[in-house]
Amino acid sequence: MKEIEMHVKGMVCGGCENRVKNALGEIDGVEAVEASYQTGLVKVKAEEKVSKQTLEEAIVDIGFEIETMEK
């Protein structure tokens, strides 16, 4: 089991949090999802086989953006 954290842009309410949780929760191997529109932070507990790229693509597919922390 691993934990992956991502910063998501565009979540503005609890409904947005639920959309993210539902989309990620449908991915095989995802065990738990926490999302906060207030901080933009999404935490995923998943099996080792689940890649961060797969999670990011699911978020982008429902209309949100991944905020990269690179400068």
Q: What is the pLDDT of residue 69?
A: 60
Phi, psi of 68 (to 5 degrees): -80, 145
In the chain, what are the domains? 2-67 (3.30.70.100)
HEC string of the chain equals: CEEEEEEEECCCCHHHHHHHHHHHHCCCCEEEEEECCCCCEEEEEECCCCCHHHHHHHHHHCCCEEECCCC
**CA dihedral of residues 44, 48, 53, 58 (deg, nearest 10):** -50
Give the tens place of pLDDT for each residue, 21-58: 999 999 999 999 999 999 999 999 999 999 999 999 99
Reported pTM: 0.89
